[in-house]
Amino acid sequence: MPETLAAWLQYLETLHPKLIALGLERVAQVRQRLNLQPDFPVITIGGTNGKGSVCAMLESMLHAAGYRVGCYTSPHLLDYNERVRIAGQPASDAELCASFEKIEQARGEIALTYFEFGTLAAMQCFIEHKVNVAILEVGLGGRLDAVNVFDSDCAAVTGVDIDHVDYLGNSREAIAFEKAGIFRTGKVAVFGDTDMPAVIADEAQRIGAQLWRLGEQFNYTAKQQQWDYRGPHGARSSLPFPALRGAFQLNNACTALAVLDALKEKLPVSMDAVRRGLVEASLPGRFQVLPGRPQIILDVAHNPQAARSLAQNLATMPPPGRTFAVFAMLADKDIAGVAHALDEHVDVWLVAGIAAPRGASATELERVLWTEQVRGEILTFAGVEEALQHARYQAAENDRIVALGSFYTVADAMRAIAHGITGKGDGKTENGR
């Protein structure tokens, strides 16, 4: 068997002919063989955008309340270990390798995808470490996603928008049906947006889940320096704004508090822990503003809804100078929709290719930007590091640089910054319209 984490991850990529193969039959069989039966509450978080933020705030608040929290999220930015956190710390290489080995011994002839294998390994780690609660972030959709093999004590869907149409459908109703698949009979199902597709309520009623919707069963009121939460079990007043920045983070924080409301009998959380958790929560790559000048912002926004959120965030803090967008995306995403959402906020598009199987080339991205008739100048680069180099060289102190479009984009930008990017990249210049 592989002996290092890197070797294991490389091996996992070879086990199934498809990167994504939705369905619970395979993963359920291996789970049964391993007898993975968590004896602690499980929280499942789905939704088109905001899943990571809700997971981060829940993890932080529960940790501040003294619980030993297991948190499984995806994808990672720099290290696979980021996906599996126990008591606020990434799982070690040795812990992950030990869990992978148990999954491998149990699966026999069953071919698991990379994500399915990792999901089972994460739960194996959580059971091994005797966590008090597990937070599971849905990878894709919900109904047929590997995390859904575990029954949740509370499930939340942050919101629904168009994404992953090849797997989930090309309408909000179709996608909402898939996401509602994480709801459970007799349990609270939280919906964290005021714009709710009808199928969410239909599915909750069909299976007998108790639906709590933002704006109805729970809500918030924002004040100048603080905000108040109102939920089915009372109010939490004078709360600090979340450390996670962005226009929609109060929606996400409110959703997280609704989940805590639903589980208050099993996992009581004090006001002090809520306040500490909100201000201590961190999530790299989600409107992450780095210190220094010119300002650098990292955001994994990879669909139109996330891009609209990023645009709204950028509008609240306009720079005196220009905005440079280091832009790289996957080819199967709505590139035009993202570009359209951000067009009025970008002065220079620094377009780069992604060295990944689904990565769009700089030429493809450039063609879309021209078709969309973006108003900014367009430059193309071989990769994100070269684009960021050029931006750092060209940007004045009062300008800002936004690296966006995918987890790959942000990860490459992080590596470039960590290595101390300097100098001028070589870009081909075109005048945008």
Domain boundaries, the chain: 5-280, 288-430
DSSP string, 181-239: GG--TTSEEEE--SS--HHHHHHHHHHT-EEEEBTTTBEEEE-SS-EEEEETTEEEEEE
Give the CATH class of 288-430: alpha beta
Number of helices followed by number of strands (H, E) in the chain: 15, 18
Please state the φ and ψ torsions of residue 18, each to the nearest 5 degrees.
-115, 145
Pick the more confident residue, 61 or 167.
61
Give the tokens for residue 331.
């080819």
pLDDT band at 80; cut points 50, 70, 90: very high
391 residue type, one letter:
A
Note the pLDDT of residue 165: 66
Contact 334, 360 (CB under 8 A): no
pLDDT at 427 > cutoff 60: no
Cα–Cα separations (whole angstroms), residue 350 to 50, 107, 171, 362, 377: 26, 45, 31, 9, 8
Output 164 or 226, whichever has higher pLDDT.
Answer: 226
Cα distance between residue 290 and residue 137, in whole Å: 26
- Evaluated on CA atoms 34, 35, 40, 42, the torsion sign reads positive
Q: 355 or 393: whose pLDDT is higher?
A: 393
Q: What is the structure's pLDDT at 167?
A: 63
What are 384's two structure tokens?
A: 């994100």
Amino acid 161: pLDDT: 86
- Rounded to whole angstroms, the Cα distance separating 67 from 60 reads 10
DSSP 39-86: -S-EEEEE-SS-HHHHHHHHHHHHHHTT--EEEE----SS-GGGGEEE
Domains 5-280 and 288-430 share a fold: no
Closest CA to 115 of 86, 89, 84: 84
Mean pLDDT within 43-67: 97
pLDDT by residue (tens digit) across 323-352?
A: 999 999 999 899 999 999 999 999 999 999
User: Which of 171, 97, 85 lies closest to 126, judged by CA?
Assistant: 85
pLDDT at 156 over 90: yes
Provide the token pair at 208: 């007998």
Which residue has better confidence, 46 or 49? Answer: 46
CB-count exposure of residue 33 (10 Å: 0-12, 13-18, 19+) = middle
Superfamily of domain 5-280: Mur-like, catalytic domain (3.40.1190.10)
Cα 165 to Cα 361: distance, rounded to the nearest angstrom: 21
Contacts with 348 (C-beta within 8 Å, 6 or more apart), sequence order: 322, 323, 324, 325, 376, 377, 378, 379, 391, 394
- Decide: residue 152, CB within 10 A, 0-12 exposed, 13-18 middle, 19+ buried: buried
Q: What tens digit of pLDDT does each residue of 173-196 get?
A: 999 999 999 999 999 999 999 999
Q: What is the model's pLDDT at position 19?
A: 65
What's the confidence (pLDDT) of residue 431? 29
The mean pLDDT of the chain is 93
**Residue 432 — very low, low, confident or very high, per pLDDT cuts 50/70/90?**
very low
Q: What is the pLDDT of residues 196-216, one digit of tens each?
A: 999 999 999 999 999 999 999
What are the two backbone dihedrals, phi and then psi, of residue 414, each rounded to the nearest 5 degrees? Answer: -60, -45
pTM of the model: 0.92
| Contact assessment for residue 46 and residue 168, using Cβ atoms and an 8 Å cutoff | no
Q: What is the pLDDT of residues 106-119, one digit of tens each?
A: 999 999 999 999 99
- What pLDDT, on a 0 to 100 scale, did the predictor assign at position 241? 96
Above 90 in pLDDT, residue 166?
no
